[in-house]
Amino acid sequence: MIIVMQQNATKDDVQKIVAKIEHAGLKTHLSVGEEVTILGVIGDKSKLDIDAIAAETSVQKVVPITESYKLANKKFHPEPSRFAVKNTFIGPDNLAIMAGPCAVETEEQLMCIAKAVKKAGATILRGGAYKPRTSPYSFQGLEEEGLKYMKTASDETGLATICEVTSAHAVESAVKYVSMLQVGARNMQNFELLKEVGKTKLPVLLKRGLSATIDEWLNAAEYIMASGNPNVALCERGIRTYETSTRNTLDLSAVCVLKERTHLPVIVDPSHATGVRSYVEPLAKAAVACGADGLMIEVHNDPAHALSDGPQSLTFEQFDSVMEHIKPYAELSGRRI
């Protein structure tokens, strides 16, 4: 449940209510907005005298939250969240552009792509060092060596970096080298991994599971937040449907649904959603138009010879074109690139 304080409630008033709740063994989550102060309550409500709290003059109303996700819930935190990623940020007013290869292949390849995406306007370099491939015989990633190249590319270009983690061991390594962690679609409900990234201080991009409902996805975000990490962004990357013309089906309505249900930023990945490079630009425009806080796009110096996801990877020229052509959409949505 949430407790909405009266507009004229003082810090002492809020503190008094917090003390009552904590005395009953429950936890509180304070959200101070421009208009209202909201106290989220987490724990066993049966231990609490809710009527007594509702009767306090500093309390405007007590509202039950029926959804199982609380910290990720917009009712808990009505203002949209924003958080720093190295020297940039994800959140309102900004359009965060994450771009780079599907997989880190060599130091030279990564550096060349990093410079190109930075020149085009990206602020976060993506690159996989642990690749959860469908076939065990496909390239599995350079692991820690790839992470080191990500760090070098970041040091040289100033770009923030994001890398997928697939295990607790990968989390332990990645925190030493990159600015943001990614939990991939195949691991969205790997609850032990969610708890591990929740224990770190790095922001986390949580991709939507291949067949996950929005509710399951928000509960997965809740796992990360409940482990102590509030800096989570959600990434719509297409879901599995009966359609075979595209690799997945981009669910843009998810962006609208999420904007209604959560304060967490929403990123759209048109590369994995379609698997086809010519569909990336139109869907990137559509994603920005419907309110996405950022895009994740795969870019490669030589897509024909990429070790993974070549068919969906953009050339530098194509990425330049996307960056140029999404500008009016970003402007209309009130976001800076």
Q: Given the complex with ligand PEP, which of 29 and 186 has the nearer CB atom? A: 186
Q: Report phi then psi at 320, rounded to 5.
A: -55, -45
| CB-count exposure of residue 12 (10 Å: 0-12, 13-18, 19+) | exposed
Q: How many residues bind Mn ion (CB under 5 A)?
A: 2
Question: Is 102 among the residues that bind Mn ion (CB under 5 A)?
Answer: yes
Tokens 């910290």 found at: 71
Residue 81 contacts residue 70 (beta carbons within 8 Å): no
**Which of ligand PEP, Mn ion, none interacts with 207 (beta carbon under 5 to 8 A by kind)?**
ligand PEP
Torsion of CA 131, 122, 294, 220, to 10 degrees: 30
Q: Given the complex with ligand PEP, which of 3 and 183 has the nearer CB atom? A: 183
Q: Given the complex with ligand PEP, which of 58 and 167 has the nearer CB atom? A: 167
Q: Given the complex with Mn ion, which of 1 and 98 has the nearer CB atom? A: 98
For residue 186, give the nearest of 137, 105, 131, 142 by alpha carbon. Answer: 131
**Which of ligand PEP, Mn ion, none interacts with 222 (beta carbon under 5 to 8 A by kind)?**
none
Among 309, 313, 314, 337, binds Mn ion (CB under 5 A): 309
Give the nearest residue (CB) to ligand PEP: 184
Q: Given the complex with ligand PEP, which of 75 and 237 has the nearer CB atom? A: 237
Q: Given the complex with ligand PEP, which of 263 and 272 has the nearer CB atom? A: 272
Distance from first CA to last CA of the chain, Å, rounded?
37
List of residues contacting ligand PEP (CB under 6 A) = 102, 128, 164, 184-186, 207, 237, 272
Q: How far is the CB of 300 from ligand PEP (least distance, A)?
A: 12
Residue 260 contacts residue 300 (beta carbons within 8 Å): no
**Which of Mn ion, ligand PEP, none interacts with 75 (beta carbon under 5 to 8 A by kind)?**
none
User: Taking contact as CB under 5 A, which single stretch among the options 43-51, 74-82, 97-105, 204-212 is the one that binds Mn ion?
Assistant: 97-105
Residues 6+ apart with CB under 8 A from 35: 7
**Which of Mn ion, ligand PEP, none interacts with 151 (beta carbon under 5 to 8 A by kind)?**
none
Specify the amino acid at residue 118.
K
**Which of ligand PEP, Mn ion, none interacts with 185 (beta carbon under 5 to 8 A by kind)?**
ligand PEP
Q: Binders of Mn ion among 174-233, rule CB under 5 A?
A: none
Which chain residues interact with Mn ion by CB under 5 A?
102, 309
